[in-house]
Structure 1
């Protein structure tokens, strides 16, 4: 297992450097003057323009700027926001818990509903249950996030008035955020009704963000289960008189989970990408909305730092998924 881990880490290092290069080059490859884009001015005094270029280090060669940027990454310095004058790393970790909370709820919903739905569809292959599950999954996968989110807001928040429209908790509640996770902090606050309020604000964003991963996981689980159910060891288990629950739940599902775990790991990137739209629709104060605001404000330091940090999170999750392979199938880690 240790050799397996070292091999994966050796692959991640050049990948991370490549992502850093892409993130660093992203803003600089855009047409136009970056100083003009950030300031929003069409005409600027040449001396002031040169001073800003010098202050930001944009008058230096590209390779020198990138070398300094890599050095800053090693020391934990991703630069300072041009707009807020705060370190990018501080802003990211201040907002990251909100995105993690939303993404965890979305992936838990996707796994809790998608895996059983896929298993049932595989067992009932060809029946109306199978066709219904796969039809709903196809609709969920094809549905645009922005349209689905607005539709739920109109129906549940506007027409039925069951859920709030935006934010993380009602303005009636105010307490210090110890962990950054509103569900935990609302419980720690001890204020009556705070936790229920936080849950109500989380329902719609969770459904919107978790719909596509749920559909993908359901379809992948069904496909993997159909392949495993035809194996000899499953037929042998049935011939031995084992209960259907033991045959499906122990022998078939564990082996079918390897491609499903891969799919779940890949959905992290989908969740972070979908969080940009979801957080914008529901005014959820996470890194998705933070990145969108940075693009509109031309805060390129935040944009390149945010891209790098999001990529690092995705690579970390993929590493964890690779380690889970070794748990599910020890032969892989040899």
Structure 2
């Protein structure tokens, strides 16, 4: 039997078993090498978080002990010294550092100095609000960024493209707090159609008090209540802050999508498909879009990190009581124990998000080797 015949038989056999080249390629992508890559990327989270925790700890201590920073002007010298000694802040810094690491391994982030609350309780209470705002803002960023970016690429160097590029520049160049103030002025003051602050009205807050196991995610909790009016109220309160935060990231996505779609749109394989009579719409949606998606997914991790940073200003502007809002409050109070715990949580979230982005990029990009 000739070599070509043997090859044909092998191919037919694999096809008959339901395999084929696509299944074989997929199997190779999900082979043991991929899982080793997955474990290696996941383990990188540990040193990343360790370095961030170390930096945050020593930066917070650069101005002295936390008790002096938070309460120094309100206590007598004797009482201040007593509290510093009781908290152990007069011991060597390296001893405090290792004790703090030991507490982190037990899940103990410390107790706030100004209101004597466990930092872990604060994270649970306010973290859901930031998560809800970030998810809504990310949805807006993806819908606006991908939609407008594809439209700009399709109408390259035309009026629509020029208008979208100007819009993108305005989105990522405008400070989020200024955009928030403009949105409040237009929709809350002039048009009076949307609330200017808060996560819900007082009536809705009272309804949430009836829940046995609230999640802290007001959209989910309103669905638990089964009250459509509460859901509408929550969504109306969420529109302006999520729009302000989402448009900040959408501007970056628009430019990124446009640039990468144009790059792949003019590549050789797309030109070959065009010469075979494939429609421009199909070229964009089937041939040029997926390769352009790879760098977009890669950059998305950094943009989510920027979104969490922008959440501090957004939540303060709209009095959205999440981690950003409470972080700004504790910064004003100089409660470094609380600030340290919140910053560490954000660092962990960013590390995990970047891990997920690495995995998705590896699955999308056939050039990644394990």
For the aligned pair, the TM-score class normalised by the smaller chain equals: over 0.9
Q: CA deviation at 1:37?
A: 2.3
The reply to whether residue 117 of structure 1 matches residue 148 of structure 2 is yes
Structure 1 regions of 5+ residues with no counterpart?
none
Distance 1:321 1:207 in 2: 23
Distance 2:67 2:219 in 1: 41
Q: CA deviation at 1:242?
A: 2.6
The reply to whether residue 143 of structure 1 matches residue 174 of structure 2 is yes
Question: Is the Cα contact below 8 Å between 1:36 and 1:42 reproduced in 2?
Answer: no
The reply to whether residue 7 of structure 1 matches residue 66 of structure 2 is no
CA distance 1:325–1:83, shift in 2 (3 Å)? same
The runs of at least 4 aligned residues of structure 1 exceeding 4 Å deviation read none
The reply to whether residue 105 of structure 1 matches residue 136 of structure 2 is yes
Further displaced range: 295-304 or 278-287: 295-304
The reply to whether residue 38 of structure 1 matches residue 70 of structure 2 is yes
Question: Is the Cα contact below 8 Å between 1:325 and 1:333 reproduced in 2?
Answer: no
Question: Is the Cα contact below 8 Å between 2:67 and 2:113 reproduced in 1?
Answer: no
Question: Is the Cα contact below 8 Å between 2:312 and 2:328 reproduced in 1?
Answer: yes
| Correspondences of 1:251-270 after superposition (within 5 Å) | 251-270=287-306
Structure 2 regions of 5+ residues with no counterpart?
1-33
C-alpha offsets along residues 281-318 of structure 1, whole Å, 9 cap, x if unaligned?
11101000111111112211111111111010001001
| Correspondences of 1:1-334 after superposition (within 5 Å) | 1-30=34-63, 34-41=66-73, 44-46=76-78, 48-173=79-204, 174-175=207-208, 176=211, 178-334=214-370
Question: Is the Cα contact below 8 Å between 2:181 and 2:317 reproduced in 1?
Answer: yes
CA distance 1:168–1:16, shift in 2 (3 Å)? same
Question: Is the Cα contact below 8 Å between 1:186 and 1:195 reproduced in 2?
Answer: yes
Question: Is the Cα contact below 8 Å between 2:223 and 2:231 reproduced in 1?
Answer: yes
Distance 1:169 1:57 in 2: 42
Q: CA deviation at 1:55?
A: 2.2
TM-score (norm 1): 0.95
Distance 1:192 1:49 in 2: 52
* Partner SS, residue 172 of structure 1: helix
Matched pairs, number: 332
